Chains A and B, each alone.
Chain A
Amino acid sequence: MTTPRGPRVLRLGLLLLLILTVAAAAAPWLAPYPPNAQDLAHRLEGPDRSHPLGRDDLGRDVLSRSIWGTRTSLGTGILVVLISASFGVLAGASAGLAGGALDALLVATIDLLLSFPGVLLAIALVAVLGPRWINLIVALCAIGWVAYARLARSSAMRLRQLEFVEAARAVGATLPRLLARHLLPNLLGPVIVQASLGLGGVIMAEAGLSFLGLGVPPPTPSWGSILRAGTQNLMDAPHLTIVPGGAILLAVLGAQLLGEGLRARLDPRGDLDPGP
């Protein structure tokens, strides 16, 4: 959609996400301290030689918690995107191909979900279900699948009108066969673009919910919950705010750039949603 575009953007996005993935995978070896080791005598202490990013409100090492937090944020993000994309594509494609009552039901559900702005519905869901990791996943998927369903549905409806699909149906091709043989291969490109743009949105939403105390429960480290402690101790410990927020910025930026770069290659017309 926008310059700067092209392969450079794609490479930069990939590089950012790759660095974070390596940090997440190698967290036990990269982190200098256990992420939950408390040291209340040194709470909120600023950066020094042994703790280069300082310590948090319970004396835990901020560098170690930020590295482990990569697992939470990236892991949750990727899981939510995978579930949302699979479910959304399946629902949208079958409704679009089948038409009729099934399609009407899907459209009504999508319209209803879209009448809740942004992550408000996810906030409300976690608020009632309780702050647990599984509930966070459920809430983010509940709003996340819609973009993929719309994409798959519109693609299916276009496909339904094509002559070769009509011919395939005439000779007895079933719905699952149409889906697997004709629709999914066409959808792969747009879905990948949508997924990488959506990943940024999900990482941001997870961090936001954790910031509000509605994310992964303590003591599991997450960038959003470190920021939460940082804002509560902003005057005494600015170091607690600066690093985890920067990590969120890099992750979301990486996903955005990757998505934009892929879009320039795979979807030059640019009719995709940016996600939640």
Chain B
Amino acid sequence: MTGYLLRRILLALPLLLGVATIIFALIHLIPGDPVEVMLGAGAGAADVAELRHRLGLDHPLLEQYVEFMGRLVRGDLGVSLRYHDPIAGLLLERAPATCALALASLGIALLLAIPGAVGAALNPGGRVEWMTSLGAVLALSIPTFWLGPLLILLFAIRLDWLPTSGFDTPAALVLPAVTLALPMAGLLTRLIRAALLEQTGALYLRAARARGLSPGAAMTRHALRNALAPVMTVIGLQLGSLLTGAILTETVFAWPGLGRLLVQAIATRDYPVVQGSVLLIAATYVVTNLAVDLLHGALDPRTAS
């Protein structure tokens, strides 16, 4: 078990290094002179030279790379061109809003997916299965950046039940979280249903039925538990689309999270902030998947061997 833990963690390290290398390379992919692009057309030569020096872009490439990695290890992501604040601080300030949004969405997605999947698995080929399948494919096809504005039009403007945007009250979380949850719910419904159907022939289910449990109770108390372990790995992988979906959802709802920070940084050509937020999102993704794998290994020791 310890060997598995160690091996899995050691495998994640080169990935993180690779991610950081791509982030480093981003700024050198800017066509033309990155410093002139950042400052805009009207910048004077002195300003350009000063910023080039400040970003370390006047050093040889290899030296820049070593310097970048060194600063990264110390948690130093540089300074925002627009806010003039350390980027690590900006990211920390915005991270809680994105975490709240992602967790609330995950919760809503599971609440929507589990009953649908159980209902569908209880009666394969029945009406419930047909309806959940239709709902799932629709949920997977709806663009979040369309669903969001539609929900605003209905619940915030027409009915005036919920705020359109902002972060001030818990009610403000409802619309963005539902918007972000729907595609995830569609995917999870399919997955959990398929995982449940794999369990249907299992002996422990027949034993549970023989002890007098109803089909529904046997399904939720026994099959669901076994089905959720593999589903968890997928949830880890899906966290990625949740985080990128958050970029769009935060833009729709003016939600003050990492995604909005990234989009604003792109619009203002604040490339150090672009690098920092992409790095944080990608690193979170890698680490979460590592954690999910380890958890899976702990829950189901067969995977660890």
Q: How far is the CA of A254 from the CA of B18 in the complex (A)?
A: 37
Contact with B along A1-15 (1 / 0, CB 8 A): 111100000000000
Instruction: State whether the Cβ of B140 lies closer than 8 Å to any Cβ in chain A.
Output: yes
Whether A260 touches B146, Cβ cut-off 8 Å, given contacts A112-B19, A116-B282, is no
Q: How far is the CA of A242 from the CA of B150 in the complex (A)?
A: 8
A124, B274: Cβ atoms under 8 Å?
yes
Q: Which of B62-70, B74-82, B212-220, B235-243 contacts A (4 or more CB under 8 A)?
A: B235-243
Whether A111 touches B281, Cβ cut-off 8 Å, given contacts A3-B130, A119-B244, A249-B143, is no
Q: How far is the CA of A125 from the CA of B23 in the complex (A)?
A: 10
Residue of A nearest to B279 (CB): A124
Q: How far is the CA of A245 from the CA of B145 in the complex (A)?
A: 8
A253, B138: Cβ atoms under 8 Å?
yes
Whether A241 touches B129, Cβ cut-off 8 Å, given contacts A117-B243, A253-B141, is no
Q: How far is the CA of A111 from the CA of B14 in the complex (A)?
A: 10
Q: How far is the CB of A61 from chain B (nearest CB, A)?
A: 20
With an 8 Å Cβ cutoff, the count of chain B residues facing the other chain is 56
A227, B282: Cβ atoms under 8 Å?
no
Chain B residue numbers with a CB within 8 Å of A235 are 157
Instruction: State whether the Cβ of B133 lies closer than 8 Å to any Cβ in chain A.
Output: yes
A248, B146: Cβ atoms under 8 Å?
yes
Residue of A nearest to B283 (CB): A115
Instruction: State whether the Cβ of A213 lies closer than 8 Å to any Cβ in chain B.
Output: yes
Instruction: State whether the Cβ of A130 lies closer than 8 Å to any Cβ in chain B.
Output: yes
A256, B145: Cβ atoms under 8 Å?
no
B18, A112: Cβ atoms under 8 Å?
yes
Chain B residue numbers with a CB within 8 Å of A130 are 31
Instruction: State whether the Cβ of B203 lies closer than 8 Å to any Cβ in chain A.
Output: no
Q: Which of B1-9, B40-48, B260-268 contacts A (4 or more CB under 8 A)?
A: B260-268
B285, A115: Cβ atoms under 8 Å?
yes
Question: Which of A127, A227, A234 sits near B152, CB closer than 8 Å?
Answer: A234
A2, B190: Cβ atoms under 8 Å?
yes
Enumerate A195-243 residues with CB–CB distance to B below 8 Å.
Answer: 200, 204, 207-208, 211-214, 224, 227, 230-231, 234-235, 238, 241-242
Chain B residue numbers with a CB within 8 Å of A230 are 149
Residue of A nearest to B271 (CB): A128
B29, A129: Cβ atoms under 8 Å?
yes
A256, B137: Cβ atoms under 8 Å?
yes
Q: How far is the CA of A244 from the CA of B152 in the complex (A)?
A: 17
Q: How far is the CA of A227 from the CA of B278 in the complex (A)?
A: 24
Chain A residue numbers with a CB within 8 Å of B142 are 249
Q: Which of A117, A242, A245, A256 has the most CB of B within 10 A?
A: A117
Chain A residue numbers with a CB within 8 Å of B231 are none
Residue of A nearest to B266 (CB): A127
B29, A241: Cβ atoms under 8 Å?
no
Q: Supply 25 A–B pairs (Cβ within 8 Å), ascending by A.
A: A1-B190, A2-B137, A2-B193, A3-B129, A112-B19, A115-B19, A116-B282, A117-B243, A117-B281, A124-B274, A128-B27, A128-B271, A208-B143, A208-B248, A211-B248, A212-B248, A230-B149, A231-B252, A234-B149, A234-B157, A238-B153, A241-B153, A248-B146, A249-B138, A249-B143
Beyond A212-B248, A231-B145, A245-B147, 12 extra complex contacts between A and B, CB < 8 Å: A1-B194, A3-B133, A115-B15, A116-B278, A118-B243, A125-B26, A212-B263, A227-B146, A235-B157, A249-B146, A256-B137, A256-B140
